[in-house]
Amino acid sequence: MDDFSMTLYLAADPERVWAAITGDEGNRAVMWGSVLRGTLAPGERIEYVGPGEDGDETVHVYGEVLEAEAPRRLRVTEHPGPTYRDDHAELTSRMTWDLEPAGDGLTRLTFTNDRWSDDNPARGHSVGTWPHVLSSWKSWIETGRALPFPA
């Protein structure tokens, strides 16, 4: 399967988009109640933590910051949380958010999920999940309402 990449335009400046994808309020709205924890500095660990099988502090995804240049680029590695897979440390991919000004009050956001480890079971789900998640980000940033996720 090919890597996933999607570009969309948001009616907001890059600073607002950056704040949404890295801040608690936007993440809670779009990422199933999770927040992004960690320092956005290269080499630092990050975690998406929120309600789940282990209670309110379930680590759903974790990884390492590769690049963080606010409000232009965030690139991280990601692993599924330990709750989901015994081999979570071996399962990895890379996620990149590139933000560019695209006119007066507009941002061009290109999201890429690539560099999948062999036999990573999440790879097949990314093509179906990411368009909905990214569309939900767009909706939340522009209207204050995230999209509902199908049951």
What's the domain count of the chain?
1
Q: Is residue 148 part of a domain?
A: no
Which residues form the domain of 79? 4-143
Separation CA 122–CA 147 (nearest Å): 22
User: What are the start-end ranges of the E strands in the chain?
Assistant: 4-10, 35-38, 45-52, 55-69, 73-80, 93-101, 107-114
Whether 150 is covered by a domain: the verdict is no
Q: Is the sign of the CA dihedral 16, 19, 22, 23 positive or negative?
A: negative
Under the banding of pLDDT at 50, 70 and 90, the label for residue 126 is confident
66, amino acid identity: L
Within a 10 A sphere around the Cβ of 19, how many other Cβ atoms? 16
pLDDT attached to residue 1: 52
In a domain, 57, yes or no: yes
What is the pLDDT at residue 150?
Answer: 74
Is pLDDT above 70 for 136?
Answer: yes
Query: Is 137 within the bounds of a domain?
Result: yes
- CATH code, 35: 3.30.530.20
Check residue 125 and give its pLDDT. Answer: 82
Instruction: Specify if 35 maps to a domain.
Output: yes
Is the pLDDT assigned to residue 151 strictly greater than 80? Answer: no
CB 97 within 8 A of CB 88: no
Calculate mean pLDDT across residues 115-120.
Answer: 92
pTM over 0.85: yes
Average pLDDT over residues 24-51: 96
Q: Is residue 1 classed as helix, strand or coil in its secondary structure?
A: coil
105 band by pLDDT with thresholds 50, 70 and 90 = very high
Q: What percent of the chain has pLDDT over 90?
A: 85
In a domain, 149, yes or no: no
Q: How far is CA 139 from CA 9, 33, 41, 115, in A?
A: 11, 16, 28, 28
How does residue 2 score in pLDDT terms, banded at 50, 70 and 90?
A: low
- Is position 75 within any domain? yes
Residue found by looking up tokens 């759903």 in the block = 60
Specify if 151 maps to a domain: no
What confidence tier does 73 reach under pLDDT thresholds 50, 70, 90?
Answer: very high
Average pLDDT estimate for 42-69: 96
